[in-house]
Structure 1
């Protein structure tokens, strides 16, 4: 079990995020955002924005080109659309977080699984972004923490996600390289294996080294 609950600094904010719910917060430059998978096998969707100018936001292509990998882990940096560093992954007990599958939503659940009347991470993002005057046009392709998405250029899998190896207590630490708005969806998905069919709570901590 990873020691995700041992915080090596001063806790500035400490939240328990229920299964399927959103979270948002400002992480000041130099502070660290820790996301803890409390029970294991729980997907966490993540977006970030410049807190002072949210038109600057996470940019997957810049991040992937600089990291030269589709899976992010310790030492990799999340870059903005103007190629500035936003967060650096400074600790990671999981390794290999997904950058390509994006977020689930009510419409995509209908499209992919034939399930109507559900909500997903897109709806969570909209709820969290709305508290900051942002909306649909501000949602960009996101990072999926604790998620495994195999890539095979010969075929597409029947489902994009497979059950990942995250264990209870696994965590990721992201150091803010600017004052950043972080937005999280604690994924409510039950139609693919990312949450093992049972969404679970997470812990989100902002701490000062």
Structure 2
């Protein structure tokens, strides 16, 4: 038995989940069936004014995808979470999330009153409902990351979704570098071309992890990350 594991559960397809991931712990996401999408948003749990900053995250690390060795930076230059482990090599930070209009247009109308638990949910409303539990609202919601999804950008600027990118058992691990409010939603990716409403479940596991070492892949991946780690460590002095 792995005594480092603190919690494990399964988020059903189209589910929304949140947790304050404590510094010194990590959250592993696992695609159980293949084809999952886990939209994720991040805030400093001790200061909600500090939030995930997608532009800084991408430009500082010179990337348009996220994988092991990358970090998720805040708008104050610190690190909310890092990605020490990843089996896929590509997670989409560009495409945003679905909303009520896009879901109805793609999958048809299916509301709760008629379909009960089979109703067609959308990620945007799911995120807003979860944010409201912490006293937050639409103005507090910004760009997200879509874990398990791959979207490549062609030379002409078009965005191309790659189906079957994530297979059963694919995983990514998020290590909290500060106390981080993590909000997840498992609705289908907004660019998924399938017209069948079939969001997939994602298993989450929380465990204790050691602090990053001097040769940690996320720390040494680029000078910008080293500076962000310095700012983060200073925050906890």
**Common topology (TM > 0.5):** yes
- Flag the structure with larger Rg: 2
Report whether the alignment pairs 1:140 with 2:134.
no
For residues 21 and 66 of structure 1, what CA distance do their matches in structure 2 show? 32
Question: 1:50 and 1:195, CA in 2 relative to 1: closer, same or farther beyond 3 A?
Answer: farther
Once residues 191 and 115 of structure 1 are traced to their aligned partners in structure 2, the CA distance between those partners, rounded to angstroms, is 16
Is the Cα–Cα contact under 8 Å of residues 34 and 174 in structure 1 kept in the other structure? yes
- Indicate the residue corresponding to 1:201 in structure 2: 201
2:55 is aligned, of 48, 56, 61, to 61
The C-alpha deviation readout for 1:47-83, integer Å capped at 9, x for no partner, is 0100011111111011001211111100000000111
Normalising by the residue count of structure 1, what TM-score does the alignment of the two structures yield? Answer: 0.86
Give ranges in structure 1 of 5+ residues lacking alignment.
1-6
Structure 1 segment 1-209 matched on structure 2, within 5 A = 10-109=4-103, 113=106, 115=108, 118-156=120-158, 161-188=161-188, 192-193=192-193, 198-209=198-209
State the distance in 2 between where 1:172 and 1:187 align: 18
Tell me the matched-pair count.
200
CA RMSD of aligned residues (A): 2.4
Q: 1:105 & 1:50 partners in 2: Cα distance?
A: 25
> Does the aligned pair in 1 maintain the 2:146–2:189 contact within 8 Å?
no
Q: What displacement does 1:153 show?
A: 3.4
- What is the alpha-carbon distance in structure 2 between the residues aligned to residue 53 and residue 187 of structure 1? 28
